[in-house]
Amino acid sequence: MFVEEVASAAARLAGVARTTPLEVNQRLSEATGARVWLKREDLQVGRSYKLRGAYNLLSQAAPESAVCASAGNHGQGMAYACRRLGIPGRVHVPSTTPRQKRERIAALGRDMVELIVDGDTYDDAAHLAAAYAESSGATLVPAFDDPRTIAGQGTVGLEIVQQLGGAPDVVIVPVGGGGLLAGVGSWFAAMYPSVRLVGVEPAGAASMIAALNAGSPVVLPDVDTFVDGAAVRRAGDVTFPLVRSCGADLVTVPEGQVCTEMLDLYQVDGVIAEPAGALASAALLSEIEVAPDSTVVCLLSGGNNDVSRYAEVVERSLVHRGLKHYFLVEFPQEPGALRRFLDDVLGPDDDIVLFEYIKRDNRETGAALVGIEISRREDYDALWGRMKGSPLKIQLVAPGTTAYRFLI
């Protein structure tokens, strides 16, 4: 039955959604020994796969008005679908949604869609959208937790096989609420059960893994919202059993590794990926083993990345790779103290990239926050050794600690 629903969704989407490119990636292929393809849903209308599910739902429901919650991409898909179908719509997004995505929602929906920014997380926006649907009678268009949305997302799997001329060995799919994996995974499980399916969640928002471990969807107490397209606090009630039954392996990837992959996609491959879009290929390089000469498809789910975020992307990547470190250093308030630190502690290739210090006349020492960038991860032990041998009192500000989150 699900295979037929995906086929029907593909027919509805003909002439609306693009058949996005499936491209061999030389960098990933050389790194793994496999033949790695990128399914470029960042080149879809709205720069993500979300149009597929939103349009498939709305074209069947034909409501008088519609409302949805979105981290950004689903809102763009629904906005375009509403304008295309002539349906008034309303999109709720949390305050963490990048400005670039908000502007694209408005541009795609034009005068057919109203944008509401409220709440701190996707789940906050979802509650507000559901309340509006209840009070107004508007049709709720879920970002992932509806069979029609899921069937629309499943058309990505159908396209992959059509473009390859057969089934791949491995398909790697980013996971937020689970709509894409539920759709693509269920379709492959029914049509090509030998295909290995892997779902990838950000380490700071692994709601589907939590649901699988608990036996049902659970609410995560804390969520890192950096990978905003996949930062979902609770997996879907509809998506969860489909993900469980399709037999996919679930892995997580640290946000810093996602940032490193975003930079490689941009600098090496010329691909602008948002954090969720880089999840699949980031996991392939760090968390997933594939057989040499196997055919692997990574779903690059979206390319809506605000250029203003790249400073944070670079920062997180450097910290993750062990190339940037922060320290609290207590300097004696006397001439030459900083010079001795530079001469005795820093190596020839170490670079101070942050120095914040306030001189206090009523104390013998003054603390400075010092950020140091090193050339190689292996150089850290020598740097820390020189620091411990210094007469200065020096404390590492470790990533993940309260002090790190407060200071950086």
42 secondary structure, DSSP code: G
pTM > 0.85: yes
DSSP 187-202: HHHHH-TTSEEEEEEE
Among this protein's residues, is 50 annotated catalytic? yes
For residue 134, give the amino acid letter: E
Locate the domains of the chain by residue range. Answer: 2-48+151-315, 52-140, 322-407
**Can 308 be counted among the known catalytic residues?**
no
Q: Which fold has domain 322-407?
A: Alpha-Beta Plaits (3.30.70)
CATH 3.40.50.1100 fits 2-48+151-315, yes or no: yes
pLDDT tens per residue across span 176-227? 999 999 999 999 999 999 999 999 999 999 999 999 999 999 999 989 889 9
Sign of the C-alpha dihedral computed for residues 263, 267, 268 and 274 taken in this order = positive
354 pLDDT more than 70:
yes
Q: Is the separation of the CB atoms in 372 and 325 below 8 Å? A: yes
Q: Which candidate in 50, 101, 281, 317 is catalytic?
A: 50
**Residue 1: which pLDDT band, with cuts at 50, 70 and 90?**
low
Average pLDDT, the chain: 93
State how far Cα 65 lies from the chain centre: 30
Please pick, among 281, 301, 317, 324, the residue that the annotation labels catalytic.
Answer: 301
What is the dihedral sign for C-alpha 3, 5, 10, 11?
Answer: positive
**Residue 223, both tokens:** 């969520």
**Are 52-140 and 322-407 equal in CATH topology?**
no
| pLDDT value for 372 | 95
Q: Which fold has domain 52-140?
A: Rossmann fold (3.40.50)
pLDDT in tens, 55-83: 999 999 988 999 999 988 999 999 999 99
